[in-house]
Every structure is written in structure tokens, then in C-alpha cells.
Homo-oligomer: A and B are copies of this chain.
């Protein structure tokens, strides 16, 4: 049996796994990623990408491909029973995304295999390939406290089985992967023992890592049974290319348009199903023909035909569960479906999964490099478990309302259009991913929120177009807050052309050049000055007058880092950053943005010279040795 050492071992190359693999590989972390599937997913499976997730893709430089390859959903249409009883009619069309600060005001639908490809291609440029088919045989975490406390130890032992001639049915018809383990056939195998500093179990709803380490799930299966078909229908239904919720007398149906002419249809299975010995519902009587027939009935009086058999179909029972813990001793973590399962109708599955690993990756990189204390790893469970629980609660309400019959003269107690649309719209911030807020912790300090009330501490940095001073080129500020594992310190300096404010800016500049500066204290010796912290300035000077040379060299590491808040030359955007963020241009403010794009701390310009940034970072960053 061979053996090896690695800093991070990722088990599972689904969305959560490849997001972590790409983030860690691009950060230069020593990482391996394995998967038991011989190849990536070919059809079906989760496919909705929410606005916040598109922002995250953009922060890794991957949004462009996503936008080119995916279908966009801008509108959400509602259909309800006609008064004359002859089928359904459109009640309203509303924006699919109601969160006003969303940079992308739409959802993307795209095949999960395409998403995985994006990451696999990107990982490859950083020298990382998924090793497959390999499955874990056993996993153990050391109990030795000294070993666990050491930065240099490898306290997780994983035995891997390298499979030969493996074949897998990626998602067998009639079985949803959240519910039934896909069948894997393999002949012959070799064992390898891996000693890892950290392990990430991104191995799905039936997580081997979670089960082996005895992490339990909270929650239960529901009674709601749904059928899904991917098809290319021929229809005169005018909203077939919009996300559409149909509440009819003949059952509920959800339309999710996909790439090209493809459409995914979800229908509720009304009939009672038998329960087998394991307590699972027997879905063998459900056929794709039955699902298509139900979709047809719910869309009457419109025509709906299926010239070809469905490309993929399934039938599932909604399970709504969250893992009781997301980590074992902050040495093994679980992410994605391994932590939470819920219905696909809220379109959150792949998003929740990828954002789990986006949250974890920079923290692992910081600890492995010796930049931050291992304590920050506890914030992963703190932040993501709360989110998962909120998601399950939302999903329960949505599933109940959607499974309920529409209100009609005969069914006065049914679900009203107002109830259903109201829930979707009130939760718009949550479902878009935009409104997610991480609570106060070691790394999130909301003390001085009042200096920038529009930039909520714990939420992602709100997009705004600002103007680069030296060349008046407009930039989306989010594009400066890239996922490169660095902290971004944004100095809203006000107008340095004004004498009083210039003195303030110069004092901050001088302080940052001194040995007292947080940048020096927390940047390890021998690394470039900007290895850990990127300093950006945003002034309030008019672009016609502003000069990048106005910014003190201590605050301006390069001409390209000085910006101002003004309308762009093409007058299409810009000039609203200070007002949107609620920052007073007369005094300015300083905003710390985490490497994953979340606002974590705010202070005043004067606070910088008083050492307030040093104090903030001192609670979790490690001082560079002299």
C-alpha cells in the first residue's frame, strides 16, 4: 500500500469540491481532489445559478464563460385558474430577481456538467486535475491534542481505493441523487494511505465522510413527491422561456427554461405512494409519460406537445435536513449536499454548495500559510450552518405553498396568488444570495457600522461603478475585490484636493509607511508588500480635476489603485458609491473586505492613525516575526 502527504484532500468533485479545488489550487495550496465517478455528470441534476453565485464566479474570473454558456431567467410568471374554469391564465409577470443591489438581475440555468467543466478547466491552468475514479475506504482524525494544535502535522488519515474499470449510472431515471445512491460498479482496486492536514468532504447527500465520522443530520423527509422532465416541448404557452409557477386545478407545475430550446418541468405527484421497508416511497409506478401528462393538464388551455422522449427525468421525495456539525475538530470539514439537502424548487442547491467552499477556502489558505490563527476555521460552521438552516426553513414554506392547491371558488382555503408571490418576493434577498449576512465573530466586527450604513457588515460588498483616476476608466468595485485570498482595504478618502482632508489623507499615508502599519505587522517577512493586503482608495473628487498623484504614496501602491466616485465618461454608470454606502465625503471611512468579498470591519480615517486596523487584525491574524 502506497502512502503520501498532502495539505488538503478534497473528496468529491461536484460543485462544492471543484469550487474548493479551484480556489485552493489558484492560491498555490498543496491540494488533491478525488472523485469516485469515472467522469463528470452528463445530464440532469441541479442547474440554477443565483445572482450572488454569479458574482462569486466573476471574482474568480469565471463569470464570462458562465454568461456565454447559460440560459438567463429575468422574469417570473404566475399562472392561476381562470374564472370560467377553462384552465389557467397569466396573473402577473414580475422580475425574477427583486434584490435591487444585485449586480446580475437574473438567474442562470446551465447543466451541472458545464459548471464542473468551467472549474476543471480553470483548475488545470493551476496544475490541478481531478483524480478518478477513487473512493475513500476509511477516514480517521487523530486524537492527539498536540498534533491537532500543530500547524505542521498531518492529523487526518484517509485510505483511498483507486478503482479500475469503474462504471456509474450518473443519475438513474426515477432516482434523485439526493435520495438514492447511484450504483457504482468497479473491478480491481489499489489502496493508498493519505496523510492530510485538512480534509474536505464534498461527497454529496450520502457523504461517506459525514457517515464515517458519525455526523448526524437534523430534519426529515416530507410527503411531497415531485416528478421532473428535461424536454424540448412544442407549445403555444407564451411564458415557456420564463421561470413560471402554475397553480392549476389539475396540480402545480414549475417551468425552468434551460440552454437552447430545452425546458425543465417540475410537477407535483398527487397520488399516494406505497412505503417500502426502509420507509422510502415506492416510485416505480411513476413514469416520464405520467409526468409529461400532468404538465400538459396543468397548462390547459395551452397546447403542450413532446415530439421527443425526455432527455432526462426523475422523481423525488423532498428531504429537508442539515448536518448537526460541519466539521470534526476543524481538521475535517463537510460542504454542499453533505451538509444540507432540500428541494430543488428554490434553486439553491448548487449555490449553497459552492458558497460553502468559497467561504472555507480562503480560511484554509490563511491558516496553512501561517497568516491567521486556526481559530478562524470555526467561523465556517458558524456562518454556513446558520445559512443552511435558514434555507431549509424557507424551503419548507415554499414547498408547502407550492404543493397546496390554488384558491378557487370550490377551494376557498387554497393558496392565494398573493401568498405565493409574496413569499417569493419577500425572500428575494435570501434566494438571490445577495442578502446573506454572516453574524458577529472573530472576523466580523460590526462596531462602527454607522460610518458606512449602506455597506452592511457581514454582507457581501455592494457593487458600484467607480472611476480609476489615472485613466478615467470605469471599474465595477467588485472586480477589484477578487478572490485572490487577499484582504482588500478600501480607503474612502474624501477629496484630497481640499486642504483639511489632504492633511488627513497624508497622515494615514505616513502611518502606513511607518513600522506601526498593520500591513507590515501582518505581512510575513520576505513576501511582497501587497501579498496579504490590497489597498484601494476611492476619493470624492471630480474626475476632471482628480490626479492620482494627489494620493499620498503610503496609500497608493500603484497608479492603478486610486479611484474616484464620479459618473463615467460614457455617463452610463458611476458617481453613487458614497451615497449608496452612506459614507460622508467630508470625512470618509475605511472598509475592510474579506478575501471572499464580505464586509467585515469599518473604521474612520482617523482610526487608522490610532491603530484601529492593527487591533482588528490582531484578534485573528498572526504577527510577522521581526
Q: Which residues of A contact B (CB under 8 A)?
A: 64, 71-75, 93, 95-97, 102, 105-106, 236, 238, 240-242, 257, 261, 470-474, 543-544, 547-549, 559, 568-570, 572-573
Contact = CB atoms under 8 A, between A and B. Distances in A.
B95 A242 contact: no
A75 B472 CA distance: 6
A35 B296 CA distance: 61
Contacts of A71: 471
Given A472-B74, A569-B74, A569-B106, A548 B238 contact: yes
A269 B319 CA distance: 79
A569 B72 contact: no
Contacts of A573: 572
18 contacts: A71-B471, A72-B473, A73-B471, A74-B471, A74-B472, A74-B474, A74-B569, A75-B569, A102-B570, A105-B569, A105-B570, A106-B570, A236-B549, A238-B470, A238-B547, A241-B559, A242-B470, A257-B471
Nearest to A102: B570
Contacts of A236: 549
A471 B93 contact: no
B472 A242 contact: yes
A257 B470 CA distance: 11
B93 A470 contact: no
Contacts of A544: 93
Contacts of A242: 470-472
Given A97-B569, A240-B470, A241-B471, 4 more contacts: A64-B64, A74-B473, A93-B544, A257-B471
A559 B242 CA distance: 12
A73 B473 CA distance: 7
Contacts of A64: 64
Contacts of A240: 470, 559
Given A64-B64, A93-B544, A241 B569 contact: no
The 6 closest A-B pairs by CB, nearest first: A238-B547, A105-B570, A241-B470, A241-B471, A74-B472, A75-B472
A557 B72 CA distance: 21
Contacts of A93: 472, 544
B238 A569 contact: no
A431 to B, nearest CB: 16
A239 B509 CA distance: 22
A550 B179 CA distance: 43
A574 to B, nearest CB: 11
Nearest to A545: B93
Nearest to A75: B472
A71 B106 CA distance: 30
Most chain B CB within a 10 A radius of its CB, from A257, A472, A543: A472
A392 to B, nearest CB: 29
Given A93-B544, A472-B74, A569-B75, A549 B238 contact: yes
Contacts of A572: 572-573
A72 B467 CA distance: 13
Most chain B CB within a 10 A radius of its CB, from A71, A106, A257, A548: A106
Contacts of A106: 473, 569-570
